[in-house]
Structure formats: structure tokens, C-alpha cells
Amino acid sequence: MDLSVEGMKNYSFFTDGLPVWEVKAENGSSLSFNSIMFDQNGDNHGYMILRIPAKNLIL
């Protein structure tokens, strides 16, 4: 899967069953996943977190 921000592909990731992973972008941001449980099919469920440095935010 790919996640694009403002038309630019920033993160490519796969949901390959890993319970914890992180992908870092060149601009200092990151996309991570932390599983807190898995279902009867072995699928992970948890929190996906997008971290963006304050300098990249427009207020």
C-alpha cells in the first residue's frame, strides 16, 4: 500500500502480519503500526500513527 501526502508518495508499506513496524520518510516524518490484538483469522488490530515534524505543519 502507498500513502501519499499532497500528491507525493511518502510511505510504501505492506500489511504482512508483523505486529509492530515503522516506515520513515526523508522529511523526518514516520508512519508506524502497533498491534494490540489479533482476531480469529490472525489479523492484527491496533494503532497506526503518522508523525509529522512541527516544521512541516502549516498553521
Domain count, the chain: 1
Flag whether pLDDT at 3 surpasses 90: no
Question: pTM (2 decimals)?
Answer: 0.78
pLDDT digits (tens, 9 = 90+) for 46-58: 999 999 899 888 8
- Please check whether residue 11 lies inside any domain of the structure: yes
Domain that holds residue 23: 2-53
pLDDT of residue 4: 75
Report pLDDT for 31.
92
Residues 6 or more apart from 33 whose CB is under 8 A from it?
Answer: 13, 18, 20, 21, 22, 44, 46, 47, 48, 49
- Write the pLDDT tens digit of every residue in 27-47: 888 999 999 999 999 899 999
- Whether 58 is covered by a domain: the verdict is no
pLDDT computed for residue 36 by the predictor: 97
Asked, for residue 45, whether it belongs to a domain, the answer is yes
In a domain, 59, yes or no: no
Residue holding cell 480469529? 40
